[in-house]
Amino acid sequence: MQHCPAVLVAAPASGQGKTTVACALARLHARAGRRVRAFKCGPDFLDPHWLALATGHPVHNLDLWMTGEDDARARLHAAASEADLIIVEGVMGLFDGEPSAADLAQRFSLPVLAVIDASAMAGTFGALAFGLQHFRPGLPWAGVLANRVASERHAQMLQDALSGEGSRTDSNLLGAVMRNEAFSLPERHLGLTVASEIPDALARLDAAADALAATPLGRMDAAALARWSVSFEPTVEIPAQAPLLAGRTIAIARDASFCFVYPANLDVLRGLGAELAFFSPLADEALPSCDAVWLPGGYPELHATTLAGSTVCRASLIEHVNAGGPLWAECGGMMLLFDELLTLDGETHAMWGLLPGSVTMQKRLTALGPQRLTLPAGALRGHTFHYSRCVSTLEPVCRTEPARAGASGAGEAVFRSGSVHASYFHAWFASNPEATASLFLSGDTD
């Protein structure tokens, strides 16, 4: 059994500022010399970039369905053995999703810190805090933080809403953070802008940490953090992975256009025995010497002009495929492979032509949710999340299945052309290492 202070930073809805607060809390304690480890609830790729910047360590995802309870338990136990504080950022609203952040908090006894955007409320702040704390009996509770507060007078009104005459709540106000653009985190479609693309990203986190330092939450020392101490059970023994990819090198696209990579997925590939080599399509780098290629998701639509001109990289990828080399492309990686990409500004960009058809960006989200891909080697868990549609003459060789029983939709198409397999599906490799290996081995994975 390992013991460590831990907190799950949640909110009543998306957009309340929980990523900023989670990062500020992590940065504040990391600056004080404490060892901080952070996790992200759910399948999100973007928030972990900011949490990693705040902590200086890789950030893994926790999801009771996609990553699984045993995986989450193992990661939390390992973090507790080396950390002074564990911070888990929630997903959407506290009770949203199946499973939700609240489910994760209850399963691992993580105290919940509720971040509420109080910019447009006063007395209702107390009702909202009370509801979050008491909606589900037995929910571990750390307290509530008022975010984007207008003034000291506004902060007092929020305090009164919690502790004034007639108040029914004991929600434990841990402070009020004033509205300040100095530590806002920029957004675009799919979520936050990747931290590495923002020149002053660390300065923004430092500004947020400074603001948090003025609150009771920010003034918590080691003794105060001990009130959040959680006992993390040792994990069940996980069988060693067979080295199914031993002696093979997998080339992985990695740059601003292809940045949706779970650190855990890289760990799985290494655990399977693979050597990893990275290349940048945006820099028009030729493929390194390799046996298989992975094109992960990202933002090809933001870099379509540059990618259209990446002739060296395109030629080396075509050569690899023509030689029968396996290629697994997911979401943004798949978009690169079609004949053309139509962006929202009406521009049509020639893509790399390894798959027949076109991709058109949409103004609204076209697919979202947990998915399962069943291959002959087993089932992979993962998710889908995209703002584009593709049209192709290829018939799908199979489709993913929504994780939730009764969910609408036919799942995501999986396309095959020669040694290319591609889908909007984002896979969590640790859910089935054997099935993962089959994506990067020669032969039919259908």
Structure tokens at 431: 């859910």
pLDDT tens digits along 406-429: 665 679 999 999 999 999 999 999
Give residue 197's pLDDT.
Answer: 80
When the pLDDT of each residue in the chain is averaged and rounded to a whole number, the result is: 93
* CATH of region 2-232, choose from 3.30.565.40, 1.10.10.10, 3.40.50.300, 3.90.25.10: 3.40.50.300
Give residue 163's pLDDT.
Answer: 81
Residues 80 and 232: beta-carbon distance below 8 Å? yes
pLDDT band at residue 168 using 50, 70 and 90 as cut-offs: low
Q: What's the whole-model pTM score?
A: 0.93
Give residue 60's pLDDT.
Answer: 97
Measured CA to CA in angstroms, residue 209 lies from 26, 206, 217, 271 at distances of: 8, 5, 11, 36
Residue (of 291, 288, 285) closest to 312 by Cα position:
285
Contacts of 248 (CB under 8 A, 6+ apart): 273, 274, 275, 291, 292, 440, 441
Length of the chain: 446
Give residue 203's pLDDT.
Answer: 93
Residue 363 in 3-state DSSP?
Answer: coil
Sign of the CA dihedral running 319, 324, 328, 332: positive
Q: Catalytic positions, please?
A: 331
For 139, phi then psi, to 5°, come to: -70, 125
Give residue 235's pLDDT.
Answer: 72
| 249-439 has the same fold as 2-232 | yes
* Topology of domain 249-439, CATH: Rossmann fold (3.40.50)
The average pLDDT across 229-235 equals 88
Contacts of 324 (CB under 8 A, 6+ apart): 418, 419, 442
Helices assigned H by DSSP within 216-348: 222-225, 263-271, 304-308, 311-322, 332-337
Residue 436: which H helix or E strand, with range?
A: helix 433-439
Locus of tokens 């919690």:
162
Give residue 192's pLDDT.
Answer: 78
Q: What would you report as the CA-atom Rg of the chain, rounded to the nearest whole angstrom?
A: 23
Q: Residue 195 above 80 pLDDT? A: no
pLDDT tens digits along 334-379: 999 999 999 999 899 999 999 999 999 999 988 889 999 999 999 9
The residues spanned by each domain of the chain are: 2-232, 249-439
Structure tokens at 137: 């009996």
